[in-house]
Amino acid sequence: MCGIVAYFGKKEAQPILIEGLRRLEYRGYDSAGVALLKDGAFDLYKISGRIANLEGIVPEPSSPATVGIGHTRWATHGKPTTPNAHPHIDCTGKIAVVHNGIIENYAILKKWLIQEGCTFKSETDTEVVANLIGYFYEKNLSRDGQNTPQRNNRFEWAVQQALNEIHGTYGLAILCLDCPDIMIGVKNGSPLILGVGENEFIIASDTSAIIEHTSQAVYLSDGEMVCIRKDGFTTKTITDKEVQKELKEIEISLDQIELEGFDHYMQKEIAEQPQVLETCLNGRVDVKNGRVVLGGIQDQLRDLTRTKRVILAACGTAWHAGLVGEFLFEQLARIPAEVEYASEFRYRNPVIDEGALFIAISQSGETADTLAAVEQAKERGATVLGVVNVVGSTIARTTDAGVYLRVGPEIGVASTKAFTAQVAVLTMLAIELGRRRHLSADIAQALLKELTEIPKKVEHILTQNEQIKQIAQANIDKDNWLFLGRGLNYPVALEGALKLKEISYIHAEGLPAAEMKHGPIALITDEMPTVFIATQCSQYEKIIGNIEEVRARGGKTIVVATEGDEHIKQYADHLITVPDTVEQLQPLLTVVPLQMLAYHAAVLRGHDVDKPRNLAKSVTVE
């Protein structure tokens, strides 16, 4: 979940590292640091807090360094203090490391290294990596005491020896004081990309730190390392087998990761939803013939049509999208479906039947828990699809096939446009499988026609921005909220509660509305905000009854209803409307005002919307 950026070239490294870290800060912002290699020494600067704090302590260089590594941290092992900030330098002073991931056996290795005379300055697992590499480099011995084979580069060998001892996940950028003409990057379970420019190279956690300098990149796979020198780079496995990697074009542009006049990335990404949904649907929805064309899975569709069971696995917001997908696969395709928390899936000996379809949903395509679930599903014979946003991500490369969201970079930690695109992709897939199984051509065509209308209906919802801001202002002093919905709007209630929690720090619960009376109704107090998604749907009368139950106990009702519904006004203390659409597509509309409500609540309470406490964008550790 941390951000790594490393530079090797002819330009001054310091400003490139700082700017790269600023672009990666959404991946972690507990602490930050850089190590610059020049004149036979490391210039090390690190500090707790944001990148701005780091900029304040890094001086203007008297002589520029052209090689360096940088890091912005989301803390796992050790508190977010300056000593625990990366980079870490081994006790010999020769090896500098930045790390994203978790070293699972660090405690055993640390104990052994201390016995061997190594000293430690931090509480982190990463310092073990630095000291382990330094140990092999300095001793020139393998751990069993055997002399190293004759090699041209002891630094590379020491890195490989250390990684053979390590269990866990890592993305690493590594420097050695004795070898200023080499930089090494290694990947295993955490994303790492090599940007290749003209006589310069940038290692980074994702492309946002690279695209200002080059559009060409190499995507490392697990167990691979890249060794960079002035005359180029080589790739190999950590077991020293050469690997040929292909240069690929980075598919995002610099302007996509700029704020472009918005106050926050989350605000920008909410506003982008009409455009990105149109992009997501474009070329995929054939209304005339009532068909969906998803190029990434077109070759598998015949087999997918015979699917007997759908398992969707995801975490957080993506799990909520998966829950919408569960309802849609059962309603439209008549296939038994269930959504699983990816973080639990691998640990409970799941039953995966022959003919099962497993769908992994992840914005980043790097979510560690979801990756682990993918591996479990593949081992047990399921057909595995990925629904991801980031091109070239690990899930995209390890699944049998998949569909890209095509929404562009999502920088805000609280996911918005990725959620609506995930729901749109799952909707298209459910309609297409339904059409191939039992859904009539007329119904499929009507659903797809309505789906193409969704972007402009989302745009209409966005015009209520000021009204929703006023609703937030009237309720932000309340510390406990409920979000309630039925049917396909139950997952939306969960997502609305999550959005409010993660950026405004207001405690909120999302529930199926009918479940409220089975316990949670005890929480209702005078003036407690309760958000109902009460659109015109098959359970409309039922949810009106649930609203009455809250009103009878003094709760304040914020109701998301269908535009033109006059009847519901009498039940709402605050009313937000969305355009009418078919019930199966309502989540694409009803979630948008809840995103806006959470955004305004957070801003009005004075919180950093794009960098909420304790959270980071891409969860690459289990």
> Residues with catalytic annotation?
2, 617
| Residue type present at position 443 | I
Distance (Å, whole) CA 556 – CA 472: 13
Cα–Cα dist 293/498, whole Å? 32
Burial class, 566, CB count within 10 angstroms (exposed 0-12 / middle 13-18 / buried 19+):
exposed
Q: Which of 312, 298, 300, 306 is nearest to 355 (CA)?
A: 306
Q: Give CA–CA dist 192/508, Å, rounded.
A: 36
CA dihedral 129, 131, 133, 134 (to 10 degrees): 160
Per-residue H/E/C for 279-330:
HHHCCCEECCCCEECCHHHHHHHHHHHCCCEEEEEECCHHHHHHHHHHHHHH
Sheet architecture: strand order including 383-388: 337-341, 309-314, 356-362, 383-388, 401-404
State residue 541 phi and psi, 5-degree precision.
-65, -35
**3-class SS shares of the chain: helix, strand, coil, % to 5:** 40, 25, 35
Name residue 385's beta-bridge partners. Answer: 359, 401
User: Which residue pairs, CB below 8 angstroms and at least 24 apart, start in 233-241?
Assistant: 233/194, 233/196, 233/201, 238/159, 238/160, 238/163, 238/164, 238/186, 238/188, 239/160, 239/164, 240/160
**Which alpha helices (DSSP H) does 203-272 contain, by range?**
265-271
Q: How many helices (H) and strands (E) does the chain have?
A: 18, 26
Supply φ then ψ for residue 338, to 5 degrees: -150, 145
